[in-house]
Amino acid sequence: MDKLLLSVIIGLVAGIIDIIPMIIQKLPKHSTISAFVQYFFVSIVIVNIDLPHIVWWLEGGLISLCLALPVLVLVGHAEKKSVPIIAINAIVLGTLIGIAGHFLG
């Protein structure tokens, strides 16, 4: 399977996994769409990048957390309680994306 196609499929799955709790909590649509797009594109980056001197299983969580930093800054200004939840979610979901990309690619 093409690596780009694999990363798109992983991105769709990761985006859906991320927004399911948001839909259940009836969060605003723009927040839900933003989260889906974030993890869709994070998946493409994670699967197609190779950071030197970083082990493969750590790359996903690290990249996902780094790409979530702007969101953390914006959300942290208004809701400080959400920052650790978003950060942990970024690390866990990013790590799972990296693992999926490694073993399926």
The answer to whether residues 14 and 97 touch, using CB atoms and an 8 Å cutoff, is yes
Q: What is the pLDDT of residues 30-74, one digit of tens each?
A: 999 999 999 999 999 999 999 999 999 999 999 999 999 999 999
pTM for the full predicted model: 0.91
* Domain enclosing residue 8, as ranges: 3-104
Q: Which amino acid is at 55?
A: V
pLDDT at 1 over 80: no
Instruction: Say what the pLDDT of residue 105 is.
Output: 83
Report the number of distinct structural domains present in the chain: 1
